Structure 1
Amino acid sequence: MRDADSTQREGEPTTINRRTLLKGVGAAALAGTGAAAFSGTAAAAQTDLQIIEVDDSLFGWYADGSLPVVDELFVFIHGWFGNSTVESQANDVLTSVENAGYNPDAAVAIEWPASNLNYFESEGDTEEVAEVTADLIEEFYDSGGGSVRLTGHSLGGRTVCWIPTKIRDSSDIETIAALGAAADGSNVCDGIWTEGIAENANVFRNIHSLNDDVVGSAYGGSGDTALGTEGAGCDGPAGYADVDVTSSVGGHLEYLGDSLTGQKIAQAIDNS
């Protein structure tokens, strides 16, 4: 499925818009720099990381495992082309949160097929990944699990924005943090995610940086904002707040392992 803003209407003139900007600056940065910068080893987190694969099949989208049923569960979702380095990305973020004082009982990284040269297909897939992840979270709660601490980067940030809209049993996800979310701010302010965040997210923190020119080149524009660069540009629904980490995050990939970002996630967990 795809938002209306990701589809060019037939007959419209070709302009320098979100699509062309993304294919230029953003695509090169995400597909090239993203894969290379996080292909090495990172400082190991204290908590062992489990990888759950979410994928598509002839019978629809599915997960190859279940969330571990524990009191405190940390879940990370990667962005475009992040499936090749999901373990190191998740460990970088988890380490920064652990260093800020939060230690979960278990940690999971959701790996999904994001290595698609057609960015807009991957953007559309985030809704499907969100639906499967929402099912995993509902199963976790139904099985007696405690608190979910959900974090996503880039298109993973877009995914965690979708997840509250896919929760069917009105369960509040305790903490959601979007890092450099690949999305328009209007979707949070008065759009497709507003009601879901208000109803099914206890604390939602949109962590953004004005230095994130990858997201800024692809989203926002006239009358809107790039969620991962400028924030939503509104107060947002209940439980929502923008968190500016411009002073610490110099680019789209620098949220991963950044100490200030880890502190802000840990603070959100404390406030949930």
Structure 2
Amino acid sequence: MKIEGRTFIVSGGASGLGQACVENICRTGSGSGNVAILDLNEDLGAALVAQLPSGTARFFACDVLETDSIAAAVKGTMDWIAQTGKPLGGIIPAAGVGNPSTILDRHGEAFSLESFDFVVNINLRGTMDLVRQCLVHLAKTEPVGEDRERGVVIMVASCAAFDGQMGQVAYAASKGAVVSMTLPMTRDLARFGIRCMTIAPGLFETRMTSVMPKKLATGLQSVMEFPRRAGKPEEFAQLVRQVIENPMLNGTVLRLDGGLRMPSKI
């Protein structure tokens, strides 16, 4: 699918990997598109819109924990699309949290179920809620090209879905579920000409990893194969663009991690 002339919805789009996707879609060459930026941080969202080419982005305050908040953001996006005439082309749910905690602490006490629910509700339920609400509109767009494609869903998992470390029970569970949804969602959406892909990044330079203890970040880099460094957000966004543009990418999970296989602990 061509990015040019289409509109994409990116949650968590005001920072980190989501922001990199927004900037790539709005700025890269002649194949630029429009982006609806969904995020809780209105200041960051407004600042990002101001930095992008005029008219290519619109910010919508959105809490992915709240179905009504997502619905309002999606409605606002569709109203904007009606004004621009650039139909919906895809959904990139990039909002996510970590909040590490071992299931039992050093005293043998169980971790908080509220903490578990918080991570799973944002990373899994929030992803599904946004995707399902957007798909209703994506399925009604006019198909394009020889394949009669309508668009693509690009979900964000993590290498923790495959080799989660100590303290990542909630995070690994949420991202593992996203991985597991990829193929059945692909099969559900095939009849509509909509593809579904998931990217599982390793260690990347984001606001989430910026608060990571230096010892942990250094340790993770040391067990990467090549390159031995954190990924750059623009490298993630580059892969997102390639997924959008290559119609044969469908129904699978791509690890983007420099060959990282996380040990139990650092």
Q: Same fold (TM over 0.5)?
A: no
Rg larger for: 2
Higher helix share: 2
